[in-house]
């Protein structure tokens, strides 16, 4: 006869989770200390909600569910094979996790079914609280202690079968369950992810400087991208997968079987120029039920400008010239930078014309800097 833990694992896998592991609801004190250190050192600057108080809550499950006894840590693969676009137009890159439907919604539905089904599975009333990267719960700490995976030097959780291409979620429960054993694995001497990060965001093994991470810059940052970092972003317009793509653990990973993570439209490598023409309504329609909505239209168009500047295709100049008339100063600023990066006589003419009607100091400054860059 199956024990409770075996029934829980079997039920989770019936719902499509690839991994189901269990740990206690004891505090994650080492993870709390590491996270508070990052906050105090300014490495989480730009995320106003990431405070010491939040760190404390996220590492003390009993504050999230007073009756907490155990945490069920679940993982589901989102890796999908590449479907490269072939027509010759300027294209950007979107992080693999955002190719399909919004994972928060997909997994939250599964977690609700999992949580409600637990009572039937074990035939007794229980209390639970669920998380899928949407609340104060340290998901990676739970995943590591439950043996679902281990910490990579890029701070991602690495799993034996699915690499780091996994979404993590948790169910905190008042059930007293037997804990699984953490994996005795690490990355050894490998530092490929550190060496290959173009912005140098992995400042030490297991330490990310949030302010330099391309994912932060293209998703969470609401203002201007620092000028010195723009060339390093390349053609990424939402997130970044570089530290995962180069990781040896991620070689020969099977594709996810979850159909809702299939690529939508051309989300892997979107044609960039048409994105500059989106208004708020068309942006919401195109990215309906997509994680990409998080960056908002202004953020995406800012990122598109940077990518077009780095690609350097002169075919983008007419669209960028129109973008200099955008109602948003952040978008205009980055359009001016992109035009300057593309360079040439046409770019000089566009920027000089823009100077005649631009009244926003930060945009005017960018136009003048870009003109200087071209002429030098």
CA proximity to 45, closest of 226, 270, 309: 226
Distance, in Å, from the CA atom of 78 to the CA atom of 219, rounded to the nearest integer, reads 19
Q: Are 214 and 239 in contact (CB under 8 A)?
A: yes
Local structure of 197: helix, strand or coil: coil
Residue 147 backbone class (left: φ over 0; alpha: ψ -120 to 50; beta: rest): left
Of 242, 243, 232, 372, the residue nearest 309 (C-alpha): 232
Phi, psi angle pair for 5, to nearest 5°: -60, -40
Catalytic residue among 31, 81, 102, 133: 133
- Give the span between the Cα atoms of 294 and 28, in whole angstroms: 29
Q: What does DSSP say about strands 93-94 and 236-238: parallel, antiparallel, or unpaired?
A: parallel
Pairwise CA distance, residues 259 & 110, whole Å: 14
Residues composing the chain = 376
> Longest Cα pair distance anywhere in the chain, in angstroms?
80
Would you call 209 helix, strand, or coil by DSSP? Answer: coil
Q: Which residue has the tokens 């594709």?
A: 255
Q: How many CA atoms lie within 13 A of 280 on its CB side?
A: 2
Q: Residue 267 is encoded by which pair of tokens?
A: 């989300």
The answer to whether residue 313 is catalytic is no
Q: What is the DSSP string of 251-271?
A: TTPPPP--GGGSPPTTTTS-B
Instruction: Give the separation between CA 302 and CA 354, rounded to whole angstroms.
Output: 17
Helix, strand, coil share (%) of the chain residues, nearest 5: 50, 10, 40
Active site residues: 133
């Amino acid at each position: 006869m199956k024990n409770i833990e075996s029934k829980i694992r079997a039920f989770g896998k019936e719902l499509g989770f690839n991994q189901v592991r269990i740990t206690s609801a004891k505090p994650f004190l080492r993870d709390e200390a590491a996270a508070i250190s990052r906050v105090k050192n300014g490495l989480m600057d730009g995320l106003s909600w990431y405070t010491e108080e939040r760190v404390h809550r996220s590492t003390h499950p009993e504050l999230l569910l007073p009756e907490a006894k155990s945490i069920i840590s679940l993982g589901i693969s989102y890796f999908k094979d590449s479907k490269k676009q072939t027509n010759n137009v300027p294209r950007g890159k979107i992080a693999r996790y955002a190719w399909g439907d919004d994972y928060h919604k997909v997994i939250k539905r599964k977690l609700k079914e999992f949580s409600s089904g637990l009572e039937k599975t074990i035939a007794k009333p229980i209390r639970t609280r669920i998380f899928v990267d949407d609340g104060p719960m340290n998901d990676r700490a739970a995943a590591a202690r439950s043996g679902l995976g281990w910490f990579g030097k890029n701070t991602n959780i690495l799993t034996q079968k699915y690499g780091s291409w996994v979404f993590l979620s948790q169910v905190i429960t008042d059930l007293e369950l037997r804990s699984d054993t953490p994996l005795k694995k690490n990355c050894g001497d490998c530092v490929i992810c550190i060496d290959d990060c173009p912005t140098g965001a992995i400042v030490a093994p297991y330490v990310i400087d949030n302010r330099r991470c391309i994912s932060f810059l293209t998703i969470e940052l609401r203002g201007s991208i620092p000028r010195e970092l723009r060339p390093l972003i390349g053609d990424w317009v939402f997130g970044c997968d570089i530290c995962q793509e180069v990781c040896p653990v991620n070689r020969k990973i099977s594709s996810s079987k979850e159909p809702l993570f299939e690529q939508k439209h051309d989300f892997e490598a979107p044609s960039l120029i048409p994105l500059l023409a989106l208004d708020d309504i068309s942006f919401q329609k195109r990215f309906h039920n997509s994680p990409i909505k998080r960056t908002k239209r202004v953020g995406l168009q800012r990122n598109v400008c940077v990518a077009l500047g780095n690609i350097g295709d002169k075919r983008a100049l007419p669209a960028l010239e129109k973008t200099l008339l955008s109602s948003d100063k952040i978008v205009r600023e980055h359009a001016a930078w992109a035009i300057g990066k593309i360079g040439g006589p046409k770019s000089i003419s566009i920027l000089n014309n823009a100077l005649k009607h631009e009244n926003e100091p930060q945009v005017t400054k960018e136009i003048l800097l870009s003109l200087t860059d071209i002429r030098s």
